[in-house]
Amino acid sequence: MGTTESGGDDFVQLVIGNKNFSSWSMRPWALLTHYSLKFEELRIPLFVDGYQQELQKYSPSLKVPVLIDAEPTVWDSLAICEYLSEQYLDGKAWPASRQKRALARSYCAEMHSGFMAIRNHLPMNCRTRRRVELDSTVLGECQRIDTLWADARERYGSQGDYLFGGFSIADCMYAPMAMRFHTYGVKLSSLSQQYLEILLKNPAVNQWRSEAESEAESLPDFEFGHEIQD
């Protein structure tokens, strides 16, 4: 359990899992941190004895993340990001133009509902570099993300460093994929590799990664493959 505070007199609570392993928790945390919104972090280590009983205190779905803000409890990463953008950021976590906003939402929806092979075969593990054999399904999904990233950067690269120029919910949704691609050494096109490196250097993303690396918990299902020595 920890607290991140910056700006404002009130704060929300964000319930998350292990930073090293919980990709969904990372998304709203990165949004809150990037935009310097004041919040209290409630970290519940996952897949240990009693963790579901602890989650039951906060999460109606028994999953993380969960946002607690006075009256509403909001669960699901994308729903939380939408709520934060609307309630605290005057919508600025989405691109300003209608066309870019629609495309960004399409990117987020595809991330939210897809890429199951990557999730199953390349679990997030921020504190290591590993090599595993990638089957054709995993490679196909990696190539699809590569295409999405490269297309966005080709369109909007002149407007800023991120997928749609400025930092947005879309970057939060794909940040765990950047972590995975770095961990497993997934080869990307030059535009996508540049974006990956920029995203990993984002102060909020970099802080999450640093704090993930200091966690003590180890989950065997997230530690397989051959470790790469840099």
Mean pLDDT by 10 residues, the chain (230 residues): 46 95 97 97 92 91 94 93 98 97 98 96 92 95 98 97 98 98 96 98 98 86 57
d(CA 181, CA 59): 30
> Residues of CATH 3.40.30.10 domain(s) within the chain?
2-88
Can you identify the CATH homologous superfamily of domain 2-88? Glutaredoxin (3.40.30.10)
Class of domain 98-213: mainly alpha
Closest CA to 180 of 19, 17, 23, 18: 23
Kindly give the residue spans of alpha helices, DSSP state H, lying in the chain: 23-34, 51-55, 77-88, 98-113, 116-121, 136-156, 169-184, 190-201, 203-213
Q: What is the pLDDT of residue 8?
A: 42
- CB-neighbour burial class of residue 35 (10 A; exposed 0-12, middle 13-18, buried 19+): middle
Q: What is the pLDDT of residue 1?
A: 41
d(CA 164, CA 159): 8
Greatest Cα-to-Cα distance within the chain, rounded to the nearest angstrom: 51
d(CA 160, CA 157): 6
d(CA 89, CA 108): 18
> Residues of CATH 1.20.1050.10 domain(s) within the chain?
98-213
Closest CA to 19 of 229, 206, 226: 206
Q: What is the pLDDT of residue 225?
A: 55
Question: CA-CA distances (angstroms) from residue 215 to 89, 126, 191, 220?
Answer: 31, 10, 32, 15
Tokens of 56: 């039951």
d(CA 33, CA 35): 5
pTM score, whole prediction: 0.92
SS3 91: coil
